Structure 1
Amino acid sequence: MNLSPFKNEPYEDFSIPENRKAMEESLRQVESEFGKEWDIVIGGEYIKSDKKIESINPSNPEEIVGICQSGTKEMAEKAVEVASQKFEEWRFTTAEERAGYLFKAAAIMRRRKMELAATMVLEIGKNWLEAVADVAEAIDFLDFYGREMLRLGKPQPLTPYPGEINQYHYIPLGVGIVIPPWNFPLAILAGMTSASIVTGNTVILKPASITPVIGAKFMEIMDEAKLPDGVLNFLSGGGGAIGDTLVDHPKTRFINFTGSMEVGLRIV
């Protein structure tokens, strides 16, 4: 795979009129989608639930940025089973194939950069620069982790010892749970999820309850990148409703979490 050296994604300078215009247009685009419903995705199946989560614009509580499904314990159990079954196939894919999905997702995210930034402006109240920086960091994670997997996927150097044949390989763990925070709802989400996927694990992504729409858009991007069904599963919902099921499930092998000390101690 021929790749240029890693380079950080630049931020847009909003003192430039063209960049301001692009953001204003993206804000109008996202506003035109207010009230759109986003589904839970398990193994490529789009699922609705009886209970919904309304994502509210904190700058104008009368505006509903989007409506997501509130997952149930049964959906959480199904997601773990699907991810566990998919792991038996995904674990044997090559580092090159897995990294390729991250590079595709980075390219899509780069193309949708202003839209994603505008979504965070309206869903969580970030200012323009912080929002576009959040997207840039997410792109960096995808590009960097993809390159690192290509490096780590090769045989690792060992000190030779006479009379011995030694090998050093990294192996995936299995089903992982990703629980990102609300304050970096795309960057940290993308980093924890992409690192898990590119190393051969399958993932259940539970976005922060107050920023589910940007999480759903990340899932949409990975789907557009043609990531195989079941490798990444999207399960929105309250932590109390589904979090315990995901954390306590015997087939859960690891948990990537960023958030409060209270929840972190509960997970531990």
Structure 2
Amino acid sequence: MVLPFKHEPFTDFTDEKNRREFEAALKKVEGELGKDYPIVINGKKIYTDDKLISINPGNSEQVIGSVSKAAIEHVDQAFESALEAFKTWRKIPAEARADILFRAAAIVRRRKHEFSAWLVYDAGKPWGQADGDTAEGIDFLEYYGRQMLEIAKGKPLNDRENEHNSYYYQPMGPGVTIPPWNFAFAIVCGTAVAPIVAGNPVLLKPSENTPVIAYKLVEVLEEAGLPKGVLNFVPGDPAEIGNYLVDHKETRFINFTGSRQTGTRVIERASIVREGQRHLKRVVAEMGGKDTIIVDNDADLDLAADAIVNSAFGFSGQKCSACSRAVIHKDVYDEVLEKAVALTKEITVGNPAEGNVYMGAVVNKKQFEKIKDYIEIGKKEGELVYGGETDDSKGYFVQPTIFKDVAPDARIMQEEIFGPVVAFTKAENFDELLEIANNTEYGLTGAVISNNREHLEQARYDFHVGNLYFNRGCTAAIVGYQPFGGFKMSGTDSKAGGPDYLQHFLEAKVVSETY
């Protein structure tokens, strides 16, 4: 019997026992840094001279691991492996496929602190954020396994006399998963195992920034009993193999999470029918956001400030759901800003491998320079109230940064920064709060802090985002509780962690039999 889905609990690091256990996990992982990791095709480990080098964002001199880079010929080999594996994997009962996910979840749960420690080193995640990332990966394994058991039952149809009709779902074939670096275990896990449990082999190209933790998932699924060739691990340079993976005639689907620029290019390239291609490619794309918290004039202002600060600066703002726009009613603008600055002053910044800080470094030098540029833009577009300092002498550190009195159409109010920068602006009334909230090309997450039920109901229908939250922050969606995906240029609104997600990797089929 499979128990109902239950969200994996987070670790309380105020508990001394939990702190000691996590410190021990960090020490264990530290002793394993610097190893070489292979490409994996049809279960075979392949090492190449050309490597991706993973660096600790909080200590740019610390190598986390070296991962072999796949070339074009490896992609072709992986597709051959996937096509061969598909012949049998597609016919494996859904219960057996789901059991592999449940076993994988049990493995990760037993080693939860170890996986979170890898996230601390590989992605620079603070302890709580790393723990949440690992918990979300466990949730994806548990939830998608249960969803597949339901989907395997098919859907009821009507029958006529001497006729029986059945409606069921079948897998599509090999596809490509291209996850991001910011949820380096959770999203890697969810985007890979969803099509796999649906019966499709996957070619997984992890982010070049966080390939080591992605390889750890490959090891877990292998240990859980996933057959060879069902998951092929092809890390590499996006410029070298990214387009080829999307363009390949055997690619049935592309499961992508990343920037708007790359996502729209994937959609465009996937629409082209290549020589020998006999199917239309599906694209599942989550492409970022420019997320707003609006604060009404009768809101709980302490709650508002806390929601803004934690949504803006959790994991250094490196979430597509992060709050980078605070739109405040003029009557409470100064008070909310004052409270937010006071909370921000309490934020600790440092290398999470050395202690339980609130914020770590940003992921790499390129992002560091991009965020620095936006801070300089912000100084011209508004008034710097707090932060703005940067330091890359050892790691890529950016202090939490707040700007005030920024125009709604300013660049730092419109463009995705993906860093710890939030801009405040004021509005005359609730209609204007909503108007500003909707004035970007994105529509991923948003939040409304208000005690006015009429205004909340107005926002329910007029705030154009895929995930809308009332009286809380705009980050931290939970699998099975708040399925995640956005409108407009935020992607295809595919709702990861929701009841419809697996159907993106399945084809519905009707069989009608006359007696």
TM range (shorter): over 0.9
Match of 2:382 in 1: none
Q: Which AA in structure 2 matches 1:170?
A: Y
| Cα shift at 1:158 | 2.1
User: Deviation digits for residues 131-178 of structure 1, max 9, x if unmatched?
Assistant: 000010000010011011111111422244455421101010000100
d(CA) in 1 for partners of 2:64, 2:79: 29
The answer to whether the 8 A contact 2:100-2:226 is kept is yes
Aligned pairs (5 A) from 1:48-197 = 48-162=47-161, 164-197=163-196
| Cα shift at 1:194 | 0.9
d(CA) in 2 for partners of 1:149, 1:170: 10
**TM superposition score normalised by structure 1:** 0.97
d(CA) in 2 for partners of 1:204, 1:3: 29
The answer to whether the 8 A contact 2:10-2:132 is kept is yes
Q: Which AA in structure 1 matches 2:87?
A: E
d(CA) in 1 for partners of 2:256, 2:154: 30
User: Deviation digits for residues 37-65 of structure 1, max 9, x if unmatched?
Assistant: 11110001000112011100010011001
Seq. identity, %:
49
Structure 2: which 5+ runs fail to align?
A: 268-515
d(CA) in 2 for partners of 1:140, 1:111: 14
Aligned pairs (5 A) from 1:165-244 = 165-244=164-243
Q: Which moved more, 1:26-35 or 1:159-168?
A: 159-168
The answer to whether the 8 A contact 1:37-1:66 is kept is yes
| Cα shift at 1:4 | 1.3
Q: Which AA in structure 1 matches 2:130?
A: A
Q: Which AA in structure 2 matches 1:214?
A: I
Q: Aligned to 2:184, what secondary structure does the other structure show?
A: coil
d(CA) in 2 for partners of 1:215, 1:59: 19
Match of 1:261 in 2: 260
d(CA) in 2 for partners of 1:78, 1:243: 15
Q: Which AA in structure 2 matches 1:130?
A: Q
Q: Aligned to 1:46, what secondary structure does the other structure show?
A: strand
The answer to whether the 8 A contact 1:80-1:246 is kept is no
Match of 1:249 in 2: 248
Larger Rg: 2
The answer to whether the 8 A contact 1:158-1:167 is kept is yes
d(CA) in 2 for partners of 1:161, 1:134: 50
More helix by share: 1
d(CA) in 2 for partners of 1:181, 1:32: 26
Query: Is 1:41 matched with 2:40?
Result: yes
Match of 2:7 in 1: 8
Cα RMSD after superposing both structures: 1.0
Q: Aligned to 1:106, what secondary structure does the other structure show?
A: helix
Q: Aligned to 1:8, what secondary structure does the other structure show?
A: coil
The answer to whether the 8 A contact 1:87-1:231 is kept is yes
d(CA) in 2 for partners of 1:216, 1:104: 17
| Cα shift at 1:246 | 1.0
User: Deviation digits for residues 207-233 of structure 1, max 9, x if unmatched?
Assistant: 110000000000010111111000001
| Cα shift at 1:87 | 0.6
User: Deviation digits for residues 83-129 of structure 1, max 9, x if unmatched?
Assistant: 01111111111001100100010000101110110111111111101
The answer to whether the 8 A contact 1:11-1:136 is kept is yes
The answer to whether the 8 A contact 2:56-2:121 is kept is yes
d(CA) in 2 for partners of 1:50, 1:37: 11
The answer to whether the 8 A contact 1:77-1:246 is kept is no
The answer to whether the 8 A contact 2:154-2:169 is kept is no
Q: Aligned to 1:168, what secondary structure does the other structure show?
A: strand
d(CA) in 1 for partners of 2:156, 2:133: 36
d(CA) in 2 for partners of 1:212, 1:90: 26
d(CA) in 1 for partners of 2:160, 2:66: 60
The answer to whether the 8 A contact 1:77-1:245 is kept is no
**TM superposition score normalised by structure 2:** 0.51
d(CA) in 2 for partners of 1:33, 1:55: 13
d(CA) in 1 for partners of 2:140, 2:50: 33
d(CA) in 1 for partners of 2:46, 2:261: 30
User: What count of residue pairs does the alignment treat as equivalent?
Assistant: 267
Q: Aligned to 1:165, what secondary structure does the other structure show?
A: strand
d(CA) in 1 for partners of 2:237, 2:175: 18
Match of 2:500 in 1: none
User: Deviation digits for residues 62-91 of structure 1, max 9, x if unmatched?
Assistant: 100111011111111111111011111111
Structure 1: which 5+ runs fail to align?
A: none
Q: Aligned to 1:61, what secondary structure does the other structure show?
A: strand
